[in-house]
Structure 1
């Protein structure tokens, strides 16, 4: 995960929220976005969220386009648990639509560690194998809830995707994944991390927070 710094919601969404009838609650109002086919607002919300996340899924950090085909407006604190936050923009992020993980796995379960917390960048540890490990109890729970790939049995596809992109990056920089202990050149690590933080056309490299996490382990 990467800490998300929430920005202002799109004006279309803000104006629509202000029009909420007094006889319905926030959760019912949010459901009306789809019931009333308010696709312009749904799209504006999805694009705004994706842009503030530099077009990375809030949870697994894969690439998202901000379009309906691969991006979902997702409530961090599930609407089933906190219906009063259904219209709270600070509680909504953009998630990928990959089956069995992220939004699709979250559903109505609580998330003790979220991408709205700075600790999300330190309590998850990624390895060259592509697997992720929780460094705290809440991180372990979150990994299980979102199915972020702690074991191949749980999410082999995501683990393999991360493994391939991690190894490709290391080999491209002349770093041998099997020889980490001998790596002593901090300048290489620093420059690589800075490169991974680079934003081009409003986008971060797919899985860049994962790659930074792995590279930091070389230090």
Structure 2
């Protein structure tokens, strides 16, 4: 969910001939995005930090096709480096997406991303929405082997907790709180564990 935009971005929009390229205080924007996303990439949920070396500022609606939204804070997200510098097959998130369209914005609560995705035991991410399901692979490349492996490790860790804790079902909410509250930064890929825990009362097999 989006928070308050940096004042420097608001003031920049009030200037004549303003655009994203001549916005000089992008560090303010990085700081705000990382804080509201609690240190996680908007797409893959890997770690991001508020500097140009470890994150990219993503335009959910690309600048090329939606120039009027290039400075709209609701359109701006924090993304990881997405495998830039590697072979194209390893690109993901913003780097892979480029100017392609994406059906749902992960920061827009009305798009209800968490209700549109699920995780498989091998770490794959998928959606029951056919269009979005295709975009998870073709636009974001979120089923890249290393991303699957990271999600699988998180799923296995929380599943081990579930199986080794006899009253686990009574402690689900406490476990969710432990993984979501009281920290400026979430553990990388932690939303995968939270998703799993929220499914357990509805009968996801252990």
Say yes or no: TM over 0.5: yes
CA distance in structure 2 between the partners assigned to 1:48 and 1:66 by the alignment: 8
Q: Out of 20, 25, 36, which is 1:30 matched to?
A: 20
Q: Out of 177, 181, 193, which is 1:194 matched to?
A: 177
What is the CA distance between 1:189 and its match in structure 2?
Answer: 2.5
Q: Does 1:141 align with 2:134?
A: yes
Give TM-score scaled by structure 2 length: 0.84
Q: Does 1:8 align with 2:1?
A: no
Q: Does 1:126 align with 2:119?
A: yes
The corresponding residue for 1:156 is 145
RMSD across aligned positions (CA): 2.0
The corresponding residue for 2:193 is 211
Give TM-score scaled by structure 1 length: 0.79
Q: Out of 43, 50, 56, which is 2:40 matched to?
A: 56
Q: Number of residue pairs matched? A: 190
What is the CA distance between 1:137 and its match in structure 2?
Answer: 2.0
Q: Out of 161, 165, 171, which is 2:154 matched to?
A: 165
Tell me the secondary structure at the aligned position of residue 20 of structure 2: helix
Whether contact under 8 Å (2:13, 2:71) holds in the other structure is yes
The corresponding residue for 2:15 is 19
What stretches of structure 1 of length at least 5 have no aligned partner? 150-154, 177-182
Larger deviation, residues 115-124 vs 184-193: 184-193
The corresponding residue for 2:106 is 115
CA distance in structure 2 between the partners assigned to 1:190 and 1:86 by the alignment: 39
What stretches of structure 2 of length at least 5 have no aligned partner? 84-90, 202-206
Q: 1:81 to 1:168 in 2, by over 3 A?
A: same
CA distance in structure 2 between the partners assigned to 1:138 and 1:209 by the alignment: 22
Q: Does 1:92 align with 2:82?
A: no
CA distance in structure 2 between the partners assigned to 1:146 and 1:127 by the alignment: 18
